[in-house]
A and B are shown apart, each in its own frame.
Chain A
Amino acid sequence: MSRFVTRRLLQAIPTFFGITLITFALFRLSPGDPVDLLVFGVPDMTAAQVAALRHAYGLDQPVPIQYLNWLLRFLHGDFGQSFLYHRPVVEMIGSALPNTIQLALAALLLALVIGVPLGAVAARSRGSRLDQAIRIVAVGGHAVPGFWFGLMFILVLSVQVPLFPVSGMLTLGASQWDIPDRLWHLVGPALTLSLAGIANYSRLMRTEILDVIRQDFVRTARAKGLREQSVLMVHALRNALLPLITGLGGVLAFLVSGAVIVESVFSWPGMGRLAYEAARSKDYPIVMAVVVTSSTMLLVSYILRDIAYSVADPRVRR
Chain B
Amino acid sequence: MSAAGQAVLSAPAVEPRRSAAGLWSDAFYRLRRDRTSIVALAVLALIVLLALGADALATSFFHESFTHQDLLESYDPPSLAKPSLWLGTDEIGRSQIVRLLYGARVSLAVGAGAGLIDLTVGIAIGLSSGYFRGWWDDLMQFLISTLNSIPALFLLLFISVLFSPGPVTIVAVIGFLTWSGIALYVRGQTFSLREREFVTAARVVGADDLRVMVRHILPNVLPLVIVLAAIDVGQAILIESALSYLGLGIDPPTPSWGNMLQNATQDLTLGPWLVWGPGLAISVTVLCLYLAGDGIRDALDPRLRGTE
Q: Would you list which residues of chain A between 43 and 57 have a CB under 8 Å from chain B?
A: none
Q: Would you list which residues of chain A between 14 and 50 have a CB under 8 Å from chain B?
A: 14-15, 18-19, 22-23, 26-27, 29-31
How far apart are B99's CB and chain A's nearest CB, in angstroms?
Answer: 16
Query: Interface size for chain B: under 10, 10 to 19, 20 to 34, or 35 or more residues?
Result: 35 or more
- Complex Cα distance, B272 from A122, in Å, reads 35
Q: Would you list which residues of chain A between 183 and 224 have a CB under 8 Å from chain B?
A: 203-204, 206-207, 210
Contacts A139-B294, A279-B248, A298-B149 hold; do A30 and B157 have CB atoms under 8 A apart? Answer: no
List 23 A-B residue pairs with CB atoms under 8 Å apart, sorted by A's residue number: A18-B142, A18-B146, A19-B150, A26-B162, A30-B163, A139-B290, A142-B286, A142-B290, A144-B279, A144-B283, A145-B245, A145-B283, A145-B286, A147-B241, A151-B279, A207-B307, A260-B157, A260-B246, A261-B242, A276-B246, A279-B248, A291-B150, A294-B151
- B154 adjacent to chain A (CB < 8 Å): yes
- Complex Cα distance, B282 from A216, in Å, reads 45
Cβ contact within 8 Å between A257 and B287 = no
- A256 adjacent to chain B (CB < 8 Å): yes
How far apart are B69's CB and chain A's nearest CB, in angstroms?
Answer: 23
* Contact among B153, B265, B269, B306 with A261 in the assembled complex (CB-CB below 8 Å): B153
Cβ contact within 8 Å between A147 and B162 = no
How far apart are A295's CB and chain B's nearest CB, in angstroms?
Answer: 5
Cβ contact within 8 Å between A257 and B152 = yes
- Complex Cα distance, B248 from A154, in Å, reads 22
Tell me if A's interface is mostly helix, strand, loop or mixed. helix
Q: Would you list which residues of chain A between 254 and 292 have a CB under 8 Å from chain B?
A: 256-261, 264, 272, 275-276, 278-280, 282, 284, 287-288, 290-291
Chain B residue at smallest Cβ distance from A286:
B161
* Contact among A152, A203, A256 with B151 in the assembled complex (CB-CB below 8 Å): A256
Cβ contact within 8 Å between A151 and B265 = yes
Cβ contact within 8 Å between B153 and A145 = no
Chain B residues, CB < 8 A from A287:
157-158, 161
Contacts A147-B242, A253-B148, A257-B152 hold; do A26 and B159 have CB atoms under 8 A apart? Answer: yes
- Complex Cα distance, B160 from A264, in Å, reads 16
- Complex Cα distance, B247 from A302, in Å, reads 31
Q: What 4 A-B pairs have minimum CB-CB distances, sorted nearest first?
A: A18-B146, A148-B279, A30-B162, A143-B287
How far apart are A286's CB and chain B's nearest CB, in angstroms?
Answer: 10
- A9 adjacent to chain B (CB < 8 Å): no
* Contact among B151, B159, B264, B282 with A253 in the assembled complex (CB-CB below 8 Å): B151
- Complex Cα distance, B264 from A185, in Å, reads 23
- Complex Cα distance, B275 from A160, in Å, reads 13
Cβ contact within 8 Å between B153 and A257 = yes
Chain B residues, CB < 8 A from A151:
261, 264-265, 268, 275, 279
- A159 adjacent to chain B (CB < 8 Å): yes
Chain A residues, CB < 8 A from B246:
260-261, 264, 276
Cβ contact within 8 Å between B241 and A257 = no
- Complex Cα distance, B152 from A57, in Å, reads 30
Cβ contact within 8 Å between B150 and A22 = yes
Contacts A15-B149, A18-B142 hold; do A207 and B306 have CB atoms under 8 A apart? Answer: yes
Cβ contact within 8 Å between A260 and B154 = yes
Number of residue pairs A-B, CB distance < 8 angstroms:
156
- A132 adjacent to chain B (CB < 8 Å): yes
- B155 adjacent to chain A (CB < 8 Å): yes
B residues with CB within 8 A of A: 36, 142-143, 145-155, 157-163, 234, 238, 241-242, 245-248, 261, 264-265, 268-269, 272, 275, 278-279, 282-283, 286-287, 289-291, 294, 306-308
Chain A residues, CB < 8 A from B261:
147-148, 151
Chain B residue at smallest Cβ distance from A302:
B149
Chain A residues, CB < 8 A from B142:
14-15, 18
Chain B residue at smallest Cβ distance from A30:
B162
Cβ contact within 8 Å between B151 and A143 = no
Chain B residues, CB < 8 A from A146:
242
Chain B residue at smallest Cβ distance from A300:
B149
Cβ contact within 8 Å between B275 and A295 = no
Cβ contact within 8 Å between A15 and B145 = yes
- Complex Cα distance, B35 from A136, in Å, reads 13
- Complex Cα distance, B142 from A104, in Å, reads 27
Chain B residues, CB < 8 A from A295:
149-151, 154
Chain B residue at smallest Cβ distance from A247:
B308
Cβ contact within 8 Å between B308 and A203 = yes
Chain B residues, CB < 8 A from A31:
163
How far apart are B170's CB and chain A's nearest CB, in angstroms?
Answer: 14
- Complex Cα distance, B287 from A134, in Å, reads 13
- Complex Cα distance, B153 from A260, in Å, reads 7
- Complex Cα distance, B142 from A27, in Å, reads 21
Chain B residue at smallest Cβ distance from A280:
B247
How far apart are B256's CB and chain A's nearest CB, in angstroms?
Answer: 12
Cβ contact within 8 Å between A291 and B245 = no
Chain A residue at smallest Cβ distance from B288:
A143
- A241 adjacent to chain B (CB < 8 Å): no
Q: What 7 additional pairs, Cβ within 8 angstroms, besides A152-B275, A207-B308, A287-B161?
A: A15-B142, A140-B287, A148-B241, A256-B154, A260-B242, A287-B158, A291-B157
